[in-house]
Every structure is written in C-alpha cells, then in structure tokens.
C-alpha cells in the first residue's frame, strides 16, 4: 500500500460523494460530503463538483474517482445515468486539470468490488468472485484470485428474453411494487444464468438492498454462495481511494 490514507469520490446519477479514507482498515476517515449531481451532468459541470468536494477537505494527494461507465485508460466509453457527453471523455485528465491531483478513474461497481475484496465480504477468499450492485440497474465486478477483470457488464445479460437489470434491479422491485419474495425469484433466475456463464465461487450482493439482506437473501435460490456486501454505501469511495493509492489503471 502506497499510503495509509487516500481519497475517493463516487459519482452517481443523483449525488457525488467523497471523503478521505483510512486504507489500513477500509473505512471513511471523516464525514463524507455529498453534493447533488448537477443537471445536466456533463463532464465540466461534474468536474466542478468533484473539485469542490476535494477542496473542502484540502486534499492534494492521489485521487480515485468512480464513474457509472466503462472506463479504459481513464477514458469513459459508456454513460449510465449521467450525460451522454461523457462518452469519449478523458475523465482522468479532466479531473486532474480540475483538482491538480494525480487521478485514477474506474467503473463504480469495479471500485465497490475492490473495496469488498480488500476489506469486506471477499477478503481472504480465492477463486472466481462476482460483486453485483443492485440499484437503478445492476453493476458488476469480476475477480479471479483477487485480481479485477475490469468493465464487466453482467447487468445486461439476456435472461428469458429480457435485459437482466430491467427485471432484477432494485429499481424494478420499486417500480413494479414487487414483494421481496417476487423480487427474490427474479434475482434467483438472474443469478442462475450468471453462474452458468462464469461459475463463480462467491457472489457478493451490494447496493442499497444489501442493508436489507435479511429480507431477501434467504429466499434466493442458486448453487453459488451469496453473501451481503459489508461496506455498503462507502464501498465506491473506499475502492476508488485504494485504486488511486496503488496507481491501478483499468
């Protein structure tokens, strides 16, 4: 570990959250700041908010930033719940110019997965592991023996003729007013398709519904062990900070 302290910023469709991180234990090292995501959420407007978050803490070291995007070598190639202008943007350079810090940018689910592997539910586990974030959509992160395979898009697997996240995301449960039992049945079917594709040894369920894991995880039916994420809402910030401290570039 390059440093015992890092800084992460987690960009979402509704909020931009950031905080310093104690990288020895994987917890926030101070109260996080949350600022609503500007609308429209174009690159310059979002970069201004990221700059505000960083400046509020006086942070000057390596900075990790998540995007709800496929990110390769610092450039965004997709845009989910943020402005389409992000596609093709060199996000790492943009945030570097705005903050003056060396910046690592990575997919938001990949960041959450890194945090869970280092500090949470995946710590000390080997084999093939998948983290899934159930929210507006389904984000995914794939690990082999603890190493990230970046930019998987398992939320878009076709399941029984449907894009998986349109039926099994947490938002689908809310929109369709499904019971936990009904939604768990959809999640089960999704996980059965996923596990036939990559045969994981462990599935970590994250996103806001991980805080209510007792309501639905016991109802899920698949052959793979499924556990709730440990870091919950801080996972993206922690994972981004760890990636920046290590100089990881997906």
pLDDT tens sequence across 110-164: 999 999 999 999 999 999 999 999 998 999 999 999 999 999 999 999 999 999 9
- pLDDT at residue 172 is higher than 50: yes
> Are 88 and 169 within one domain?
no
* Residue closest to 99 by CA, chosen among 36, 9, 10, 17: 9
Task: Supply the pTM of this predicted model.
Answer: 0.95
> Are 80 and 134 within one domain?
no
Residue 100 three-state SS: coil
Pairing of strands 128-134, 103-107: unpaired
Query: What Cα–Cα distance (Å) separates residue 31 from each residue in 19, 26, 38, 45?
Result: 7, 14, 21, 24
> Are 215 and 240 within one domain?
no
Task: Assess if residue 63 is contained within a domain.
Answer: yes
pLDDT (tens digit, 9 = 90+) per residue, 210-233? 999 999 999 999 999 999 999 988
Residue 77, domain extent: 5-108+234-246
Task: Assess if residue 113 is contained within a domain.
Answer: no
């Amino acid at each position: 570990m390059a440093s015992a302290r890092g800084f992460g910023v987690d960009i979402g469709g509704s909020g931009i959250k950031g905080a310093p991180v104690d990288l020895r234990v994987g917890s926030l090292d101070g109260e996080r700041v949350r600022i609503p995501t500007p609308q429209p959420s174009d690159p310059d407007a979002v970069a201004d908010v990221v700059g505000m978050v960083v400046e509020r803490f006086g942070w000057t070291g390596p900075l990790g930033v998540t995007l709800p995007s496929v990110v390769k070598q610092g450039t965004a190639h997709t845009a989910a719940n943020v402005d389409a202008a992000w596609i093709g943007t060199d996000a790492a350079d943009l945030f570097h110019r705005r903050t003056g810090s060396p910046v690592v940018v990575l997919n938001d689910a990949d960041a959450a997965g890194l945090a869970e592997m280092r500090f949470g539910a995946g710590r000390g586990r080997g084999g093939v592991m998948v983290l899934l974030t159930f929210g507006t959509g389904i984000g995914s992160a794939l690990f082999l023996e603890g190493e990230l395979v970046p930019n998987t898009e398992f939320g878009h697997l076709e399941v029984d003729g449907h894009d998986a996240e349109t039926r099994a995301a947490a938002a689908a449960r809310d929109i369709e007013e499904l019971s936990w039992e009904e939604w768990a049945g959809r999640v089960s079917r999704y996980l059965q398709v996923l596990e036939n594709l990559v045969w994981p040894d462990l599935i970590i369920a994250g996103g806001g519904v991980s805080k209510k894991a007792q309501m639905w995880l016991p109802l899920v039916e698949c052959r793979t062990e499924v556990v709730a994420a440990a870091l919950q809402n801080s996972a993206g910030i922690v994972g981004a900070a760890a990636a920046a401290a290590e100089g990881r570039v997906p």
